[in-house]
Amino acid sequence: MTMRVAVQMDPLEKINISGDSTFALLLSAQSRGHKLYHYLAEDLTYQDGRLYAGAHEVSVQSVAGDHFRIGEFVILDLGRDVDVVLMRQDPPFDLGYITATHLLERIRAETLVVNDPASVRNAPEKVWVLDFAQYMPPTMVTRSLGAAREFLAQHGEIVLKPLHGNAGKAVFKIGRDGANLSALMELFNATYREPHVIQTFLPEVAEGDKRIVLIDGEFAGAINRRPAQGDIRSNLAAGGTAEAADITDTEREICAAIGPELKRRGLLFVGIDVIGGRWLTEINVTSPTGIVAIDGFNGTDTPGLIWDVIERRVSN
């Protein structure tokens, strides 16, 4: 079947095609004969009960620096003119992002939106994961310096990070002496209105942070992301390196616990992060990554698996 696919993402000229998961999805869709449109979240317009996007037809190719062609500008009625909307812009998970989910939620009865916009809004990476606390390291969400000091005293070395951060940005390790805790909490409280995440530091992170991809609630592949020398952040965008990986029995148990809820919520493409083979830290639903590296190591076709599920959903 041929589908019309509207992709809500960041500017195409800014992406790194060698590892970008959205670009891999575009290439795969194009190879299947699907027609692609590109627009930014800010291009959405709601009027008289209809949701529109100012978009361009687009074609893609695996040529660095010459990886896309922009075609005709069109005004798409996202409820009538397309079969699928891929919501793939990167965080920050701010009011602009949240507003886009509210608008896209209005077309769910007409058009498949991946991932489901209401579920994305209600399952931010570092908040929804709290529903699976039995698999998490000791975790606190707070703006209170006093509470943070007590947590540090109880657990020793800790990590402080923004509640709605991404790509390893603004992640700090604080030692047992707590020398920088007050200054960092002051900085975070001045920068962010929401509370912050504090977790026990896991020494196992030196061996890597595993990204595990689930498609329609089922395990599809994994990579290990090893931090750069002298860093605690394993995110590939923060200098981490990818390694081939399998998953442990505990990680399979985590996938089995999360999978049915992903299916129920319409979260079709999800990446979870696990440290030390057992500590779940995030459930990434906004714009998960890692499939290019997974396929490079395993010889798999994760974008194809994703499109198989989408095509079945649209045809039913």
Which among 115, 166, 224, 284 is annotated as catalytic?
A: 284
- Among residues 210, 225, 226, 265, the one annotated as catalytic is 225
The DSSP bridge pattern shows strands 4-8 and 35-39 to be: parallel
180 a catalytic residue: no
Active-site annotation holds for 126: yes
Of 20, 125, 216, 273, the active-site residue reads 273
Annotated active-site residue in 88, 121, 226, 233:
233
Q: Catalytic: which of 115, 116, 125, 161?
A: 161
Distance CA 156, CA 174 (A): 9
The answer to whether 35 is a known catalytic residue is no
- Three-class SS of residue 41? helix
Task: Clarify whether 273 is annotated catalytic.
Answer: yes
Residue 307's H or E segment, with its range, is helix 302-315
Secondary structure element (H or E) that encloses residue 225, with its range = strand 218-226
Cα angle value 80/26/216 (rounded, 5°)? 75
Q: One of 210, 211, 226, 265 is an active-site residue; which one? A: 211
93 in Cβ contact with 285 (< 8 Å):
no
Tokens linked to 134: 């039995």
Pull the structure tokens for residue 216: 């329609």
DSSP state of 312: H
Annotated catalytic residue, options 83, 125, 282, 311: 282
Asked about 210 being catalytic, the answer comes back as no
225 catalytic? Reply is yes
User: Does the active-site annotation cover 312?
Assistant: no
Single out the catalytic residue among 88, 126, 210, 226: 126
Active site annotation includes 226: no
Catalytic positions, written as ranges: 126, 161, 211, 225, 233, 273, 282, 284
